[in-house]
Amino acid sequence: MSKILFYITFTIAGKDRDIMVIDVRLVPEGRSEIERETRLEGFEGDLPPFSESLKCTAAADRMEGTIVVSLRFAGGFGLECARCLEVYRQPVAGELRVILREEQGRYGASLDDGAGVDFYFDANHELVDISSAIYDEIMTALPLKPLCSEDCEGIKVESQDDAGDGGGKPADPRWAGLMKLKSGR
Ligand SMILES: [Zn+2]
């Protein structure tokens, strides 16, 4: 087993940013292991803010021009609770499998061409950015209705005690004498 680099740092407009890129030149025949921590910086506007970077571990199985990447990720986001509106930490984890295939003249996401391939690469395009596949998986892993806890009771309303229903509550002891008079005892 060999460790391989999973990313390249690109310099865009003078600012370093890392994205989930596999350099297929570094992926050996057979099985290799990949480890990487990322914040999917190409998607920062589309994702909630990270509370923890994604930790990714993957196995890459290569047979000539085909690379199968089985990847697990785990991280956390700061989400706003739908009931109490407090920001809380939502852990997110998932796994996915992407298939990369070499085909002369093709590169990038396959856009569902029915061949079961997720990304193509060729001799001139050896960096495969799989960020979009991870992004899709994160979006399905995020809760539709974020809750800080299952039994969150929502926004606390203050001074409910003074609200006028005397119903089941014990009366103020200072009124006890008056109540006696009223009830004729
Ligand atoms: Zn809450």
* Global confidence as pTM: 0.72
* Ligand 1 center–CA 150 separation, angstroms: 8
Nearest to 22 by CA among 141, 137, 103, 133: 133
Using alpha carbons, list the distances in angstroms from residue 71 to 25, 36, 75, 128. Answer: 19, 10, 13, 15
CA gap 2, 32 in Å, rounded: 5
* Ligand 1 center–CA 141 separation, angstroms: 19
Query: Which positions ≥6 away from 59 have C-beta within 8 Å?
Result: 31, 32, 33, 34, 69, 70
pLDDT tens string, the chain, 185 residues long: the values are 455 544 444 333 333 345 688 889 999 999 999 888 888 888 888 999 999 999 999 999 999 999 999 999 999 999 999 999 999 999 999 999 999 999 999 999 998 778 899 999 999 999 999 999 999 999 999 999 999 999 999 987 775 555 445 445 555 666 666 566 666 65
In this structure, the dihedral spanned by the alpha carbons of residues 53, 45, 106 and 115, taken in order and rounded to 10 degrees, is 70
* Ligand 1 center–CA 165 separation, angstroms: 27
What pLDDT score does 61 carry?
97
* Ligand 1 center–CA 151 separation, angstroms: 8
What pLDDT score does 11 carry?
34
* Ligand 1 center–CA 133 separation, angstroms: 30
Residue 52, token pair as written in the block: 């923890």
* Ligand 1 center–CA 81 separation, angstroms: 5
* Ligand 1 center–CA 62 separation, angstroms: 46
SS3 of 21-90: the string is EEEHHHCCCEEEEEEEEECCHHHCCCCCCEEEEEEEEEEEEEECCEEEEEEEEEEEEEEECCCCCCEEEE
What pLDDT score does 35 carry?
86
Contact 47, 75 (CB under 8 A): no
Nearest to 111 by CA among 132, 135, 134, 138: 132
What pLDDT score does 15 carry?
35
